[in-house]
Structure 1
Amino acid sequence: MTQFITKSMFDAIGELFSDEASIAVSNTEEYIYYRPSKRIDLRIKKGDPVKEGTITYKALTGKQKISEFIDRDLFGVPYYGMAVPLIQEGKIKGCVSAIFPTLATGKSVVTVKHDDGWVPVPFSEVMYLEASDRKTHVVTQKLTGTHKYTLNEFDFLLPKEYFVRCHRSYIVNVNFIREIFPDLHSTLVLIMKNEAKITVSQTYASYFRKLLDF
């Protein structure tokens, strides 16, 4: 593949995720391509060495896909990254990394827009999140507000111990599920503690069952 075609391909991939994820491509030693997103920019330049501790470094040395949070020590901002090594004829030749923004290290609240102001809500009080009308609605037992992050971004940011993606439009806090029923069309239906009914789609059903062990 020519250098022109390769760059064009990376640009096209970057354009698909330009609002959410930065894209970095490296060989085994240095970055050969970088496209920042509107949400996060690590200011990587072509020719910069791959630093130890980065998501790219971990994928290259671990020789497998890596997904995890990286703290602010390396680039000055924390981020959530996913990296996949590029393998040719059994040998690692480089890596492609997607870099997502994250809440500041140590934060345990989400600040939602409510009425004419903003309300900090602890993660533990969030019942579920719903993507609707081009907004992310954060629902608690006391209030419902909106947030600028997409549901995909929240999927990376929220604690994995009790937040589960169950539908392309929903993430639920399992501590607020009252009952789970089978459904012929959606596979499962969740009854939340506020009486809301949330669908578990077929795409997420087996993953959901596995996480909740039933």
Structure 2
Amino acid sequence: MNNEFFSSSKDISQQFISILKDWIPAYSSIAIAVENSYIYFHSGHQNINLEVGQQVQPGSIAEQVIRTRKRTDAILDNSLFETPYYGIGYPIHILDVPAALVVVLPSAFTEKKLEPFQFLTGKHEEEWNPVAIDKISHIESLQKKTWFYVDGDQFKTSITLKELQMRLPSFFIRIHRSYIVNIHFIKKMARDLTSNFIITLKDGSELPVSQSYLNNLRNALEF
């Protein structure tokens, strides 16, 4: 991206931002991407690992907007954020080049917007079963599918782990990229022979705790 284009696109970006500030919630974060890189970024209170000039990641809201030219909204996982956030992307043009404007809403707004699930409906064998949320011991992402477990039975749901993380009650804790656990079903926590943290559930199941999520567990259980 040449310097002349970058300078002009930055000026246009500022015009979009001045309009946005009139209607988006305070502490929102804003990013504008043109082609394959970000040309503007303003951070709200979130800890976001994003910089001007950074490449647009495949599967991100910005990438989807630029590719489809459609408004896109999604719950973002913690690859760019410390905790999940709700983002909305809009197709725009910068000097006739397809671009994406992405607004990331603050967590307080998201928590008010999304009510916690009271139950999940999952498929077991050839039946769909609604299950009260407090009966679920843990939830797993495996082979691009989401499974939850009740009394040793496995149920499949179409809801992703990152979406569930935004809608589960506070007694569910994300402990790994592939696991969310109900703290009421935890029997004990300890380190294994390689010093990795392991959770043992009351039914004997063992779940790994990744280093990036260990603080979530420590803060929730105060140990």
Matched, 1:69 2:111: yes
Residues 184, 207 of structure 1: alpha-carbon distance in 2 compared, 3 angstrom cutoff: farther
What pairs with 1:66-105 in structure 2 (closer than 5 Å)? 66=108, 68-71=110-113, 105=115
Matched, 1:17 2:44: no
Once the two structures are superposed, what CA deviation does each residue of 1:59-118 show, in whole Å capped at 9, x if it has no partner?
5xxxxx7562344xxxxxxx5xxxxxxxxxxxxxxxxxxxxxxxxx47401111111121
C-alpha contact 1:14 1:22 (8 A) present in aligned 2:
no
More helix by share: 2
C-alpha contact 1:186 1:199 (8 A) present in aligned 2:
no
Once the two structures are superposed, what CA deviation does each residue of 1:6-25 show, in whole Å capped at 9, x if it has no partner?
4334697485235xx988xx
C-alpha contact 1:22 1:37 (8 A) present in aligned 2:
no
What pairs with 1:193-204 in structure 2 (closer than 5 Å)? 193-204=202-213
Structure 1 runs, 4 residues or longer, greater than 3 Å off: 4-7, 9-15, 37-46, 56-59
Q: Which amino acid aligns with 1:179?
A: K
The residue aligned with 2:198 is 189
The residue aligned with 1:165 is 174
SS at match of 1:16: coil
How far is 1:37 from its partner? 4.5
How far is 1:213 from its partner? 0.5
SS at match of 2:137: strand
TM-score by length of 1: 0.58
Q: Quick one: distance in 2 between partners of 1:213 and 1:166?
A: 15
Once the two structures are superposed, what CA deviation does each residue of 1:159-178 show, in whole Å capped at 9, x if it has no partner?
12x10111111100000001
Residues 211, 70 of structure 1: alpha-carbon distance in 2 compared, 3 angstrom cutoff: closer
Q: Alpha carbon RMSD of aligned pairs, Å?
A: 3.9
Residues 191, 57 of structure 1: alpha-carbon distance in 2 compared, 3 angstrom cutoff: closer
The residue aligned with 2:165 is 155
The residue aligned with 1:140 is 150
The residue aligned with 1:7 is 34
Q: Which amino acid aligns with 1:164?
A: I
Matched, 1:111 2:121: yes
The residue aligned with 1:96 is none
Residues 38, 57 of structure 1: alpha-carbon distance in 2 compared, 3 angstrom cutoff: closer
Q: Which amino acid aligns with 1:172?
A: V
| Structure 1 runs not aligned, ≥5 long | 24-32, 47-55, 60-64, 72-78, 80-104
How far is 1:205 from its partner? 1.9
Q: Which amino acid aligns with 1:68?
A: T
Matched, 1:36 2:72: yes
SS at match of 2:149: strand
Q: Quick one: distance in 1 between partners of 2:208 and 2:104?
A: 39
Residues 106, 67 of structure 1: alpha-carbon distance in 2 compared, 3 angstrom cutoff: closer
Once the two structures are superposed, what CA deviation does each residue of 1:188-211 show, in whole Å capped at 9, x if it has no partner?
211111110111122222331222
